């Protein structure tokens, strides 16, 4: 549900991943040659430095950032409706 304290995108066709991908492509200035998640006018990356920059930024966004940081960083709203998947695996600290 879209609320002021928890905004989300209500459009069914909206792709959160495409939004984040497009923002990273814009930031890096090129897109990886192996994927075309978001339609952009940016060229394919033609050197390893740019590819590494893209991969590091993309990985950082998926692994490290929480919802509020993602919104502040990329200005992409999370979708109001989505499927959440989990592994059911619980971790415990080694002592």
pLDDT in tens, the chain (95 residues): 888 888 899 998 999 889 999 999 999 999 998 877 777 889 999 999 999 999 999 888 888 778 788 888 899 998 998 777 777 777 677 76
Q: What pTM does this model have?
A: 0.74
Q: List beta partners, residue 31.
A: 44
Could you give the CA distance from residue 37 to residue 24 in angstroms, rounded to a whole number?
12
Could you give the CA distance from residue 36 to residue 44 in angstroms, rounded to a whole number?
10
In sequence order, what are the residues at sequence separation of 6 or more whose Cβ sits closer than 8 angstroms to the Cβ of residue 12?
81
In the three-class reduction of DSSP (H, G, I as helix; E, B as strand; rest coil), residue 54 is classed as: helix
pLDDT at position 47 is 92
Tell me which residue has tokens 């978001």: 38
pLDDT at position 95 is 62
In sequence order, what are the residues at sequence separation of 6 or more whose Cβ sits closer than 8 angstroms to the Cβ of residue 3?
none
């Amino acid at each position: 549900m879209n609320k002021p304290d928890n905004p989300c995108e209500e459009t069914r066709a909206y792709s959160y991943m495409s939004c984040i991908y497009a923002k990273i492509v814009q930031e890096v200035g090129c897109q990886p040659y192996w994927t075309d998640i978001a339609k952009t006018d940016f060229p394919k990356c033609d050197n390893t430095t740019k590819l590494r920059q893209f991969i590091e930024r993309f990985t950082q966004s998926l692994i490290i950032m929480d919802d509020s940081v993602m919104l502040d960083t990329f200005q992409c709203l999370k979708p109001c409706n989505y499927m959440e998947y989990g592994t059911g695996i619980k971790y415990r600290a080694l002592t």
